[in-house]
Homo-oligomer: A and B are copies of this chain.
Amino acid sequence: MIDCGEGAQIRMRQMNFRTARLGHIFISHLHGDHCFGLMGLISSWGMLGRTAELHIHAQRDLEPLLGAQLRYFCDKMPYSVIFHAIDPARHGLVYEDRTVCVYSLPLKHRVPCCGFLFEEKPQDRHILREMIDAYQIPIAYIPRIKKGEDYVLPDGTRIPNGRLTTPPTPPIRYAYCSDTAYNEDLVPLIQGVDCLYHEATFEEEFLKRAQETQHSTASQAATIARKAGVKKLIIGHFSARHSNQENLLKEARAIFSDTVLGMDKGVYPIVGEVK
């Protein structure tokens, strides 16, 4: 989960999310709309009998604030909350497991802030079943072939891996960048991602206000998407002054056509067509 504004637990219930497997929450920065939902979420999960550890990744200032509340409100919870401090000013690995790496993406905002890049680990090559049958390759060898090894027949003939497999599915990459002023330093870090979420708080007309508050316009978000050659862009974090978000979408699409509006309760595939 990325960020946790007030009411996140309520929205999750409304959307029937299964939260048992949600083990890590990444907090971009310590403004209320990105972290005030943590206590409610954590304590409700305790009351629902959660036992799995929950890991919070955020800049270090959150630890004492959250810790004091956890000690008071969540004294006898059946699960542990583990805090991991991240340095939002640094681009680096903040989390890794069997299938994914998560990197911090330094952003430019009024307070220390970072986005996150989620990168799937490289997957195995796809085996060609008919070749396995043709060369009568024993099952025990298949994992090694999937990793790229050649196969040597009993008579010593070497079958190159390229004849036995096709390339792996490319790792999926998703970048989340909110809240931030226009920041070209992001471009090399998110080059070619499958999906970029980038804030677009204002229409271009409010560029000055965007600069003052260290936010982006829809045009700026789309410019980052275009420069980084991402596959698609989701824009969000719209200012309340823009009641008609179609203008924001229009503005972004003029620069980067594969843009969608990130709406409340929206569900967007990371990979696949923009609707």
Contacts and interface: CB of A to CB of B under 8 A. Distances in A.
Integer count of this chain's copies in the complex? 2
A40 B6 contact: yes
A30 B6 CA distance: 18
Interface string A35-54: 01101100110000000000
A30 B65 contact: no
Contacts of A10: 6-7
A46 to B, nearest CB: 10
A32 B68 contact: no
Name which of A6, A7, A64 has the most chain B CB atoms within 10 A of its CB. A6
A92 to B, nearest CB: 25
Interface string A1-45: 000001101100000000000000000001110001101100110
Interface string A166-177: 000000000000
Contact of A61 (B7, B30, B43, B72): B72
Interface of A: 6-7, 9-10, 30-32, 36-37, 39-40, 43-44, 61, 64-65, 68-69, 72-73
Given A36-B40, A65-B72, 4 more contacts: A6-B37, A30-B73, A31-B73, A68-B68
